[in-house]
A and B are shown apart, each in its own frame.
Chain A
């Protein structure tokens, strides 16, 4: 269980059993975002995931975008934080902001 290699190994393992996989990566943070840039989360089409892109605040919202990204194959930049209108529902409780790139493993 070490850092992000574990997460990418999981992505490869799911792929090798024929499952669709999406990868979420923290690409930018502002303020006190809990996970640094480069942090990753991988998720399969059944919604099983490993890794993290926040302290648990926005993972649910990221997972909701997965189905579309897997269907279209188009990567998507997601923004979460206090300035976002979704902040009340899924924003970072700590007040930070974060950009996450969600992409399909093709």
Chain B
């Protein structure tokens, strides 16, 4: 790989642009391609199409096209986790999610909770959750987890998440809290299919007790949803 190409990939990553690197190792040729672009000079259209398909699936693979082996390497923007509620579990969840490869954003309009000292190095938003989620442009590579168990904060966040293509939506709270939450969402017009998208009580049932254990169960469930979708 040459330096200019590496710099362009890193630039795309910083700008959160998806890009696919196409390598014809046998001839030492490489190209970069972004969604919506025409194939760069010298790259067969068939290879460009295969590359964009790989990018869409977030896959990296060797494709043999017209007798040549092209390595298609997808660079999609990082997965994101939006955590609503800058609470104790949120502090641990933010760290574990980061280690698992997620870019983390914590949303909480209560500025006493959402402080940089409690969330070092984590992006914080203090808008109301529905507005924050709208600005964050929740997409198919984003997970949304609500932790406040305060309907004032959780409900607008869940409504916004249900209106998005988030690949995972989870909401902290007991079975009873979750039932009441689903009833409120039903009153707001969310159908059964929408409501079923919300994982509640949040996290895999591993008997978690401490904030760290609960955070582990949430990250595990998020990964399960992600991989089930891609399988």
Which residues of A are at the interface with B, using a C-beta cutoff of 8 A? Answer: 1-5, 8-9, 11-12, 15, 23, 25, 27-28, 36-38, 75, 77, 99, 101, 103, 105-106
Chain B interface residues (CB < 8 Å from chain A): 1-3, 6-7, 9-10, 13, 23, 25, 28, 59-62, 71, 73-75, 78, 98-99, 101-103
Residue of B nearest to A3 (CB): B101
Given contacts A25-B71, A37-B60, A77-B25, contact A1 B98 (CB under 8 A): yes
Q: Which residues of A contact B13 (CB under 8 A)?
A: 5, 8
A101 in contact with B71 (CB, 8 Å): yes
Chain A hits for B71, CB < 8 A: 25, 27, 101
CB-based contact B60/A36 at 8 Å:
yes
* A2-B98, A2-B103, A77-B25 known; A23 vs B10 contact (CB < 8 Å): no
Question: Please, how many angstroms separate the alpha-carbon atoms of A9 and B7 in the complex?
Answer: 9
A101 near B25: Cβ-Cβ < 8 Å = yes
CB pair A15 B3 closer than 8 Å: yes
User: Known interface pairs A15-B3, A25-B71, A106-B2. Does A37 touch B62 (Cβ–Cβ under 8 Å)?
Assistant: yes
In contact, B10 and A12 (Cβ under 8 angstroms) = yes
Partner of A8, one of B6, B25, B98: B6
Q: Report if A28-B74 is in contact (Cβ < 8 Å); known contacts: A8-B6, A8-B9.
A: no
A34 CB to nearest chain B CB (Å):
15
B62 lies within 8 A of A105 (CB) = no
- When the two chains form their complex, are residues B78 and A106 in contact, meaning their CB atoms are under 8 A apart? no
Excluding A8-B10, A38-B59, 9 further A-B contacts by CB distance (< 8 Å) are: A2-B101, A8-B13, A12-B7, A12-B10, A15-B3, A27-B25, A27-B62, A77-B25, A103-B1
In the complex, the chain A residue whose C-beta lies closest to that of B76 is A3
Instruction: With both chains docked as a complex, state the minimum distance between the C-beta of A96 and any C-beta of chain B, in angstroms.
Output: 16
* Residue of A12, A15, A38, A101 with most chain B CB atoms under a 10 A cut-off: A38
Could you tell me the distance in whole angstroms from the C-beta of B128 to the nearest C-beta in chain A?
28
A101 and B25 alpha carbons, distance in the complex (Å): 8
Contacting pair B78 A3 (CB below 8 A): yes
A62–B6 alpha-carbon span in the complex (Å): 21
Q: Does B78 lie within 8 Å of A5, measured CB to CB?
A: yes
Q: Which residues of B contact A77 (CB under 8 A)?
A: 25
Q: What is the minimal beta-carbon distance from B211 to any residue of chain A, in angstroms?
A: 21
The distance from the CB of B104 to the nearest CB of chain A, in whole angstroms, is 10
In the complex formed, the residue of B with least CB distance to A36 is B60
Which 8 pairs show the lowest CB-CB distances between chains A and B? A38-B60, A2-B101, A37-B60, A106-B2, A5-B13, A27-B71, A3-B101, A28-B62
